[in-house]
Structure 1
C-alpha cells in the first residue's frame, strides 16, 4: 500500500473518529496544504481492543496503553510539521481522585459522568468519562474511566472542543458504555 493510499484510509478513519467536516476545518485553520493522515484502527476496532482491556482490568492494574486514534501531520513553514492527534486510553486517574484537591484544581466536572481538564498551558484538551464496559469487573466504571485527548499545534479552543467532544461521543457509542454518558458539545464555559 503506497503512502497516498494509507493517508486516504487514514483520512477516512480520522473522519469517523472526529467528524469529516471537523477534520477539514482543523486542517484549513492551520494552513491547509498536503496533510498526512494516520489511523491504524477505525472506531469499531479500537473499541474492541479497549473493551478487552477493560474486561481484563483489576484494581491493582496500573498498566494502561494509550492509543493514537488519529494523527494528522501538516507541513509547517521552515521545514517543521504541525501535528493534530486524538488519543484514547483507560485512565490511571479514578473518578474518586477528581475530588482530591490536587486534581480538582485542573479538572472540572461537567456532569455526573464527564470531567474536562482545564487549561494546562499546552495546546491540548482532555476528557475523563465514566464508561462501564459490559463484562468488566465491578467498579471498573469509576476505577478505570475512559480518557480521551486532542493535542494540536494551537487550534482555536472552539475547534479543539468540537474535535474532542465528537471523538469522545464516537468512542462512548462504540464502547456501548453503561449509563450512556452524555458528552456535552460545549466543554468549556
Structure 2
C-alpha cells in the first residue's frame, strides 16, 4: 500500500514540475539578480522579456559584471563633478551584456567628443532633436550610438563633458527589427536622463532618424 502511495505522490510531483516549467534550472533573474534588475530598469521589463524571447538561446547568460543602476548613476555623476583625469579619460560602463547563441550588449559613458565636435562632424553624427545626435549606423544591423546633452546639477564650470553616450549593439538575431533596436536605445537614454536628473531635461525623441 505504501509503495502505491509513494508512486502516486511521485507522479503528482512530476506532473506539477511539468505544468510549472520547473526543470531544476535557475532563470536568468535567479542566476544574475543584479544584472537582470539593472537591465530591466534601463530598458524596461517588457523590452527585456521580448529580447530574451527573440534571442531564444538555452545557454543565454549575463557576461558583464554586476552593476546596479545606482552604482552606474553614482559613477557617471562622480566623473561629472570631479576634475577630469586626462590620462585615464572617461570610464565606459558595461550596462547590459547577454551572450550565448544570441548576443546583446549596451555601454554607457561620457562622450569623448564635445558638443561642438559632434555638431560639426556631420558625416558621422545626425541631429535627432535639440542636443540629441545619433551616429550613422552604416546600414541595417549597425549599432545605435547616440549622444545627448546632460548637465549635472552642481557641476557647472567643472563638468569636462556634457554629452552622455549610450551605445546599443545590434542584437545578434535576424528577428530583431530596426524599430525594436531603436526602441531599446531610446529607452536606455531616457532612463539615464531620469536617473542622472539631467538639469537641462533632454527630450529623447521616439524616432532617432527623423531629425530636425
> Aligned equivalents of 2:57 and 2:49: distance in 1?
9
Contact 2:98 2:104 (8 Å CA) reproduced: yes
Larger radius of gyration: 2
TM-score norm. by structure 1 comes to: 0.83
> Aligned equivalents of 1:57 and 1:170: distance in 2?
25
Contact 2:82 2:158 (8 Å CA) reproduced: no
Aligned counterpart, 2:181: 160
> Aligned equivalents of 1:33 and 1:55: distance in 2?
43
Say whether 1:119 aligns with 2:137: yes
TM-score norm. by structure 2 comes to: 0.74
Q: Aligned Cα RMSD in Å?
A: 2.5
Aligned counterpart, 2:205: 184
1:99-128 alpha-carbon deviations (Å, 9 max, x no partner): 32xx21121111222111121356311110
How many residue pairs match? The answer is: 179
Q: 1:104 aligns with which of 122, 128, 135?
A: 122
Unaligned 5+ runs, structure 1:
77-81
Contact 1:114 1:129 (8 Å CA) reproduced: yes
Contact 1:58 1:137 (8 Å CA) reproduced: no
Whichever structure has more strand as a proportion of its residues is 1
1:44-84 alpha-carbon deviations (Å, 9 max, x no partner): 221111100011144967701100111112x32xxxxx321
Task: Give the stretch that moved more between structures: 33-42 or 7-16.
Answer: 33-42
> Aligned equivalents of 1:172 and 1:6: distance in 2?
29
Q: Structure 2 matches for 1:73-92, cutoff 5 A?
A: 73=99, 75-76=100-101, 82-92=102-112
